[in-house]
Amino acid sequence: MLIEGCKHELEITVPVEDIQKETDRVVANIQKRAKLPGFRPGKAPIGIIRTRFNSEIRQDVLEAILPKAFTAKAQAEHLQVVSTPSVKDVHFHEGEPLRFKAEFEVAPEFELKEYRGLPVEYEDPQVTDEEVEARIGTIREQKAEYINEDPRPLADGDFAVVSLHSIAGVEGEPIDNDDMMLHIGDPDTMPEFSENLRGVSPGEDREFDVKYPDDYTQARIAGKTVRFEVKLKAVRRKELPEVNDEFAKDLGDYQNLEELRNAVRTSIQAEKTRAAQEEAKAKLIEELVNQHEFPVPEAFVDKQIERTVSSHFLSRGIDPRHLKLDWDKVKENQKDRAVRDVRGSLLLEKVADKEGIHTTKDEVDREVQRIARQEREPAAAVRMRLEKDGTLARIASHIRTEKTLSFLFEHARKSAKAE
């Protein structure tokens, strides 16, 4: 019986003879392990077992019969159950059939509307000469050399090599770095370092406080004021290589600077194309969701919220299990977005089914090998671990989703972005 949305309820009856068979099995098991005064193990009379262990027998029988009876009934009615059933109104009396109700959720049924030719704004991105030169400039910065200057006071623009030691404001082990390089006066350098080290000469010490912002990347010192003891070891200047054919040859398999520029342009083009297509695919999902309205199981929504929240914190190096989150409030705030995300996932599955889009073994193997190379472990060991913790199935699902999105993008009605 449909209650609301994806919620269903079944009224289930289990015949007396099935109850009796399960009861006899439970009683026999208890008799084998029961230790009662005056009887050898396994030899206590059935009547005494039934009397002494009445509550345990009743509980064991229910725990064995309820799930089997529910599964059989759901299968008989061809219901795709997606949540753990909630059992209520249990009528369980000796000599009578067992009757109970089970409330649960099922996967939604919906008709898939036209998904080919979805409208989306998209243009192949262009790469400018300025972007190419900026990227080469970044590479040039990475190849810079830092030359020790003759001892002199630090000034803005200099690079200071310091030894640093925290003496207050940090819990646990102090912060120690014997060879840190700071760019004096640079916006990315904490201003307290520039202010207190400007004018200092190599060999001199300074002691000062540094106030870190609440959103500082290192959680250990975020929002804290840390007192440091700092010694200036050397003053360095940055020397950038000249951008010419020799620069290009030093970077790799390039004959001249023009080949390097072409390679950089190709790389930027690929990056921009990938980003533009990802943006278009996200819009296609939104368009697909907007065209379909159907209920989604709360069990799916809850799992989506948990995944989103966990991913948010884990990406910042925080284990969400150690946080005291008000999940009711989190779910209230995240529900609308989660419902749309779940609906989008279900729609993509439907499209994949209709178009026969599947993940191949080779595709999964390539991803496993990529992970193995990244983690420097044997591919077989990585596969075994990923299969055991369920990650392998998620990888296969993700590949299928990406292939489906690529299909939708390939068949979309693309138009230029409005100015």
* Domains, the chain, ordered by start: 2-105 (3.30.70.1050), 145-239 (3.10.50.40), 255-415 (1.10.3120.10)
- Is the confidence at residue 203, as pLDDT, over 80? yes
Q: Which of 65, 100, 110, 105 is nearest to 85 (CA)?
A: 105
pLDDT tens per residue across span 92-126: 998 899 999 999 999 999 999 999 999 999 999 99
pLDDT tens per residue across span 331-356: 888 999 999 999 999 999 999 999 99
pLDDT at 60: 92
Q: Among positive and negative, which fits the CA dihedral 188, 190, 196, 201?
A: negative
- Is the confidence at residue 34, as pLDDT, over 90? no
- Is the confidence at residue 217, as pLDDT, over 90? no
Contacts of 57 (CB under 8 A, 6+ apart): 23, 26, 27, 30, 49, 50
Distance CA 36, CA 52 (A): 10
* Average pLDDT across the chain, whole number: 92
pLDDT (average), residues 74-80: 93
Name the residue with higher pLDDT: 32 or 302.
Answer: 302
Contacts of 123 (CB under 8 A, 6+ apart): 276, 414, 416, 417
Instruction: Answer yes or no: are the C-beta atoms of 194 and 209 closer than 8 Å.
Output: no
pLDDT (average), residues 46-56: 83
Can you give the pTM of this predicted structure?
0.76
- Is the confidence at residue 29, as pLDDT, over 90? no
pLDDT (average), residues 239-260: 93
Helix (H) or strand (E) holding 183: strand 176-183
pLDDT at 1: 64
pLDDT (average), residues 61-90: 94
pLDDT at 62: 93
- Is the confidence at residue 284, as pLDDT, over 80? yes
pLDDT (average), residues 375-387: 92
pLDDT at 419: 62
pLDDT at 313: 80
pLDDT at 307: 87
Name the residue with higher pLDDT: 269 or 315.
Answer: 269
pLDDT (average), residues 315-330: 78
Distance CA 265, CA 15 (A): 75
- Is the confidence at residue 209, as pLDDT, over 90? yes
- Is the confidence at residue 2, as pLDDT, over 70? no
pLDDT (average), residues 47-61: 85
pLDDT (average), residues 266-285: 96
pLDDT (average), residues 325-329: 83
